Structure formats: structure tokens, C-alpha cells
Amino acid sequence: MPQDMEIDPEVLSIIQRAKRVTILTGAGVSAESGVATFRSYKEETKESLWSQYDPQKMASIEGFLKNPNRVWQWYQWRRSELKSKKPNDAHKAIAKWQQSKDQRVTLITQNVDGLHQAGGSKDVIELHGNIWSNHCLQCRAEYKGNTDGVEDVIECPKCGGQVRPSVVWFGEALPEKAWRDAESASYSCDVFLSVGTSSQVYPAAGLAALAKSQGATVIEVNPEPTESSVVDYFIVGRAGEVLINILNT
Ligand code: BJW
Ligand code: ZN
């Protein structure tokens, strides 16, 4: 989608009239920063994480308990990949939008990469945790030590348990406060904008339906059709280009 392409004026008008906008982002928002998605589309499929790694082995407590070092090393590799990544137009456009005086814009992300914060967003609701934090599996204490270059799982200094990345794996509950805030922002918005997510992973994927049940208009931004069945308007395009267009129109 070219930068100067017009988005359907009807959709733009709905977005502009909204007092409260809730944005849910997924891996597609970081794709333009060079971060691999989980279930990428078309030509990028080969590079997506789940096409190369088994989510059961890498992103579940069972996988971690079976082979903690393998999982730890995978996250260390992803951290080292992420170190050079910079926020892109999508992250920056959302951060700018959040500063609007006329609209209340709440950002919910499934991403763990911290790029929204690096792009200037504040009060980011992180549903799946943050890859830069670690905590003890046993006593849950945050581990604040430096993990740069650490190849094997660290022992918790408090209880001797295993230290793990503070992300949400399959089968695990989402952080309570983040989920509460996400539900309340979805309940109370006029427009729910779902950007760069395949809408396959629950409970995050259910927020759009929650918003719709309370009368919000659900708008999706994605270069590809998704699993979501509650979308009122679909904007085909990359996150950065579309969000800049929305903001500048
Ligand atoms: C672009 C673009 C560009 C490309 N611009 N777009 C039914 C109901 C409820 C739950 C379940 C259910 N069925 C099964 C479940 C369980 C499970 C689940 O949903 N599984 C499905 C896969 C079927 N859910 C869970 O297990 C969750 N927990 C849970 O349910 O707990 C229950 C419980 C309650 C109480 C006590 C105990 C338990 C937890 C889910 C955790 C997900 N974790 C991961 C890994 C995080 C850590 C890590 O990074 O390693 O989170 S999985 C992975 O998927 C990651 C993502 O946040 C998440 C979502 O992916 P996302 O963001 O949508 O990315 P992709 O790759 O799928 O899509 C990218 C999109 O971008 C594509 O559409 C592209 O087209 C697009 N794109 N370029 C815009 N430039
Ligand atoms: Zn501990």
C-alpha cells in the first residue's frame, strides 16, 4: 500500500469520530522492524518462528521442564536478534496517536519485544509478558541480574529454582492486571483496531468480540485475511503505512 493511498473515507470517519480507541497489536507490527512473526504470511512463511521451531517445545512449561537449557538458549538467541531492532513507523504512529488530546487511545500488545515502549508508547498493556524480563519458576521472584551471554539456565539466588523468561507460554494464564485492563479497554471503546495479528491465539483474539458486543466498530489492519470473524472493516496493508495514513489524514 503506497504511503499516499487513501483509506476508505467511511472507515476514516469512524476512526476520527471515536472518543475511545483501543488498539491490539501482534507480531505483524514488528515485522517491518525485521522481527520474525510466529505464523507469517506468504513469502515470509519460511522465516516465521513456528515454521522452524515447535511451539510445544519452545513455548510451554512442559517444553521448558523437559529441556530448560534448550528453551533458555532459544530465548537468548531471540534476545540477541532483537538487540539491533528499532521501532518502525507503526510503533511511532501509535505512540503519537496516544498523545492525542481529542481521543483516548489505549494500547494492548501481544508482543514481548518492547518495541512499542522504545517507540515512545507509555502504559502499554503487555498481554504475553516481556522477553527482557526473567523470573523464578518456583518462587516467582523477578531475576534482575544481567543475563547477557548466559548460555545455561540460571539458579534463582533466593530459592535455587530455575530462572525463566517472563513471557506467557501456551497453557499459562495471562498476567492478571494486564488482562483486566485489556478487557476494560475493550469493553469501553468506540473503535477496536486490531493490527498485525493472525487472531489465532486466545484469549487475546477474543477481545475484538468483547468490544463488538458492547457496540464498538472492529477494524483490522493486515496484509492478509485473518481468522477473525467479528471484523466490520478490513484495511489491507502493512501496519506502518496504514497507521501513518490514518494519522495524517
Ligand atoms: C503484518 C505485517 C505487516 C505480517 N503489517 N501485519 C480457545 C479459547 C481460549 C484458549 C485457547 C483456545 N484454544 C486453544 C487455547 C489455548 C491457547 C491458544 O490460543 N492456542 C491457539 C494457538 C489455538 N492459548 C493459551 O494457551 C493462552 N493461555 C490460556 O489460554 O490460558 C488458560 C488458563 C487460564 C487460567 C489458568 C491457566 C491457564 C496463552 C497464550 C500464550 C501465547 N504465547 C505466545 C508466545 C509468547 C512468548 C514468545 O514470544 O516466545 O505469544 S505464542 C505467539 O502467538 C506469541 C504471540 O503473542 C501470539 C500471537 O501471535 P500474533 O501476534 O498474532 O502473530 P502471528 O505470527 O500469528 O501473526 C502475525 C500477523 O501479522 C499475520 O496475520 C500476518 O499476516 C501479519 N503481518 N507482516 C501488518 N507488515
Ligand atoms: Zn526462586
Q: Is the CB of 18 under 6 A from ligand 1?
A: no
Check whether 45 has a pLDDT greater than 60. no
Q: Going edge to edge, which strands form the sheet with 142-143?
A: 142-143, 129-136, 163-167
Pick the residue whose CA is nearest to atom 77 on ligand 1.
28
pLDDT tens column, 110-124: 999 999 999 999 999
Tell me which residue has its CA closest to atom 11 in ligand 1. 202
pTM score, two decimals? 0.96
Atom of ligand 1 nearest to the CA of 202: 19
The per-residue pLDDT of the chain, averaged, comes to 94
Tell me, using a 6 A CB cutoff, whether residue 157 lines ligand 1: no
Atom of ligand 1 nearest to the CA of 199: 63
Q: List strand residue ranges (DSSP E) for 74-127, in order.
A: 104-109, 125-126
pLDDT above 70: percentage of residues in the chain? 96
Tell me if 11 sits within 8 A of 235, measured CB to CB.
yes
Does 47 sit in the ligand 1 pocket, CB within 6 Å?
no
**Helix/strand/coil for 244:** helix
Q: How far is the centre of ligand 2, averaged over its atoms, from the C-alpha of 110 (Å)?
A: 26
pLDDT recorded at residue 5:
64
Rounded (5°) CA angle 191-172-128: 40
Question: Does residue 71 have its Cβ closer than 6 Å to ligand 1?
Answer: no
Q: Is the CB of 219 under 6 A from ligand 1?
A: no
pLDDT tens for each residue of 146-198 = 999 999 999 999 999 999 999 999 999 999 999 999 999 999 999 999 999 99
If one residue of 91, 201, 238 were mutated to test the ligand 1 pocket, choosing by the most ligand atoms within 8 A of its CB, it would be: 201
pLDDT at 1: 45
| Model confidence pLDDT, tens digit, residues 9-34 | 999 999 999 999 999 999 999 999 99
**For residues 57 and 249, what is the distance between their CA atoms, to the nearest angstrom?**
45
Model confidence at 225, pLDDT cuts 50, 70, 90, reads confident
Residue 4 confidence class, pLDDT cut points 50, 70, 90: low
DSSP annotation of 155 reads: B
CA of 174 to the centre of ligand 2 (A): 20
Q: What is the pLDDT of residue 46?
A: 57
Q: What's the rounded Cα separation, in Å, for the pair 35 and 203?
A: 23
- Best residue among 1, 170, 176 to mutate for probing ligand 1's pocket (most ligand atoms within 8 Å of CB) is 170
Shortest-distance ligand to the CA of residue 59: 1
Outline where DSSP puts E strands in the chain. 20-25, 104-109, 125-126, 129-136, 142-143, 163-167, 191-195, 217-222, 233-236
Q: Is 226 in the pocket of ligand 1 (CB under 6 A)?
A: yes
Please tell me the predicted confidence (pLDDT) of residue 228.
Answer: 80
